[in-house]
């Protein structure tokens, strides 16, 4: 039994939670092309919070994040120009840290914003919007 993991010829495919600001959704979803399952280089499957439950309150949002993060190995924070100001991205950092997920920060193309505030004084791998760089960090 694989406990929710995907394997290709005996190699575990990592499950990667993707944190992004909903305003950057269209760019963020382009990361899917970087996965091996889509002929890319990254040994991972990307999962996103896709259901907008914000109208149902904070506990519904928190539950949606937790459910999406379930069985993930890595939390990938996509940083745009305003990501560092989002309280829900901060909550995702907190949950990823509490679950012991590897944290990676990747800058969205043509943006200059900083990492989420709760990551500012911490050490974590980061890269620009480059498939090969992300692939190296996911290994």
- Domain of 122, CATH number, reads 3.40.50.10140
Mean pLDDT across the stretch 54-68? 90
- The parent domain of residue 28 ranges over 6-138
Cβ atoms of residues 95 and 81 within 8 Å: no
Top pLDDT among 98 and 121 is at 98
Residue 89 contacts by C-beta under 8 Å, 6 or more apart in sequence?
Answer: 19, 20, 21, 77, 83, 116
**Closest to 67 in 3D by CA, of 32, 95, 93:** 95
Asked, for residue 1, whether it belongs to a domain, the answer is no
Mean pLDDT of the chain: 88
pLDDT above 80 for 10: no
The predicted pLDDT at position 75 comes to 98
Cα separations in angstroms, 32 against 9, 23, 51, 123, 136: 21, 17, 17, 26, 16
* Full-model pTM: 0.88
Mean pLDDT across the stretch 71-80? 96
Cβ atoms of residues 47 and 76 within 8 Å: no
Task: Report how many domains make up the chain.
Answer: 1
Question: For residues 37-65, b (16+ Cβ closer than 10 Å) or e, as one string?
Answer: eeebebbbbbbbbeeeeeeeeeeebeebb
Asked, for residue 22, whether it belongs to a domain, the answer is yes
Range name among 29-33, 36-40, 66-70 with the lowest pLDDT average: 36-40
Given pLDDT bands bounded at 50, 70 and 90, which one contains residue 2? very low
Asked, for residue 75, whether it belongs to a domain, the answer is yes
The predicted pLDDT at position 4 comes to 56
């Amino acid at each position: 039994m694989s406990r929710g993991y995907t394997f290709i010829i005996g190699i575990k495919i990592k499950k990667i939670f993707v944190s992004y600001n909903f305003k950057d959704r269209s760019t963020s979803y382009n990361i899917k092309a970087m996965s091996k399952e889509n002929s890319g280089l990254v040994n991972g499957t990307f999962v996103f919070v896709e259901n907008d439950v914000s109208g149902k309150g904070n506990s519904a949002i928190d539950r949606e994040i937790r459910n999406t993060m379930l069985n993930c190995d890595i939390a990938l924070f996509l940083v745009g120009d305003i990501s560092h100001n989002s309280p829900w991205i901060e909550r995702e950092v907190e949950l990823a840290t509490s679950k012991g997920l590897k944290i990676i920060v990747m800058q969205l193309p043509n943006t200059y914003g900083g990492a989420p505030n709760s990551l500012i004084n911490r050490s974590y791998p980061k890269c620009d919007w480059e498939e090969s760089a992300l692939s190296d960090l996911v290994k």
